[in-house]
A and B are shown apart, each in its own frame.
Chain A
């Protein structure tokens, strides 16, 4: 029985890792839904395992995509000064909260993520102004055959949003790429490709900041960590080798509706309507 459960976790990990690499998701959202709705373990344990999945997924993707030179390490570090404290506080808050509240927060995050995916909120606008902090960047765009230069708009708003993203990530166990990419792209006007690569860098660090809290509080299920991490690693390997990153608008919309559906499920679970 135990073995069958671990096998299922492993197989789902492959799926989440593969989809994560393909859709540019950390896989955290999929893992947390799987652990709470399918495996049906207590939400705090589910959050801890999901954070491990996010770290594995981000590290695997980072080892491949770092070569793309789209990652803006300076911008990532500036934003991390807010996401990391947020992620630590979020983890402590979550551990002090009853499971149902965590589930309600997760449902809200899914609602937000689903809505932004369906509406395809994305900005193509690029701003270029005086870059006093030196956090603007440039990258070579393969499709346009030219170098794209950009500066960072509305840093203060971005920092505040990053703090919130860190908090949320610490509470519900997602790396928060699904929140960080819109923050960078929509608020700070960083091109979508640079936002995605930079977010991947940040997601692993944010997840690790919360994971260490769950770990030292003994919430990490060591046995279940094995199939989770292995599944993600193999899934990420397959995903990055076989498929290039797809940014198909149809896929995004579909993903949005799936997230909205699961948001509803989580609200029902948090409200005690959905019990099994």
Chain B
């Protein structure tokens, strides 16, 4: 329980810091790196949900594993849709 929460808080910290680093270097390296920085920021909550899925799987909590997979599926569909 403790380790899962600690892991998630680390995932969030690393995600935000990585994104901030990319954004800062993007100011000098150009739009492509800025683009990556924004993408990293948007992906951080996706990672958070993925870790929750992993947590439920490890605890053999299959009902919530499936629910979380459904949320991930919705997130992925949302990112693939185009007008």
Q: How close is B19's CB to chain A, nearest CB, in angstroms?
A: 7
Which one, B27, B35, B67, contacts A77 given CB within 8 A? Answer: B67
Report yes or no: A92 in contact with B12, Cβ–Cβ below 8 A. Answer: no
Q: How many residues of A contact B (CB 8 A)?
A: 47
**Cα-based distance from A52 to B35 in the complex (angstroms):** 13
Report yes or no: B38 in contact with A222, Cβ–Cβ below 8 A. Answer: yes
- A55 in the interface, Cβ–Cβ < 8 Å? yes
Report yes or no: B20 in contact with A220, Cβ–Cβ below 8 A. Answer: no
Report yes or no: B45 in contact with A207, Cβ–Cβ below 8 A. Answer: yes
Dominant SS among interface residues on chain A: helix
Which residue on A lies nearest to B27, using beta carbons?
Answer: A226
- A118 in the interface, Cβ–Cβ < 8 Å? no
Report yes or no: B83 in contact with A92, Cβ–Cβ below 8 A. Answer: yes
- B42 in the interface, Cβ–Cβ < 8 Å? yes
**Cα-based distance from A56 to B16 in the complex (angstroms):** 7
Which residue on A lies nearest to B6, using beta carbons?
Answer: A67
Contacts of A230 in B (CB 8 A): 20, 23-24
Which one, A66, A209, A222, A229, contacts B75 given CB within 8 A? Answer: A209
Contacts of A222 in B (CB 8 A): 26, 31, 34-35, 38
| Cβ contacts B34-68/A at 8 Å (1 or 0 each) | 11011101111110110010010000000110011
Report yes or no: A84 in contact with B45, Cβ–Cβ below 8 A. Answer: no
**Cα-based distance from A96 to B82 in the complex (angstroms):** 12
Dominant SS among interface residues on chain B: helix
**Cα-based distance from A162 to B78 in the complex (angstroms):** 17
- A146 in the interface, Cβ–Cβ < 8 Å? no
Report yes or no: A81 in contact with B71, Cβ–Cβ below 8 A. Answer: yes
- Contacts A63-B16, A81-B70, A229-B23 given: A88-B41 contact, CB under 8 Å? no
Which residue on B lies nearest to A208, using beta carbons?
Answer: B45
**Cα-based distance from A223 to B33 in the complex (angstroms):** 11
- Contacts A92-B83, A208-B75, A217-B83 given: A62-B48 contact, CB under 8 Å? yes
**Cα-based distance from A59 to B31 in the complex (angstroms):** 24
Q: How close is B28's CB to chain A, nearest CB, in angstroms?
A: 11
Which residue on A lies nearest to B7, using beta carbons?
Answer: A66
Which residue on A lies nearest to B14, using beta carbons?
Answer: A63
**Cα-based distance from A67 to B9 in the complex (angstroms):** 8
- Contacts A88-B81, A205-B49, A229-B19 given: A62-B42 contact, CB under 8 Å? no
Contacts of B67 in A (CB 8 A): 77-78, 81
- Interchain residue pairs A-B with the least CB separation, the first 5: A88-B78, A208-B45, A204-B45, A63-B12, A222-B34
Give me the interface of A with B, judged by CB distance under 8 Å: 52, 55-56, 58-60, 62-64, 66-67, 69, 73-74, 77-78, 80-81, 84-85, 87-88, 91-92, 95-96, 134, 201, 204-205, 207-209, 211-213, 215-217, 220, 222-223, 225-226, 229-230, 233
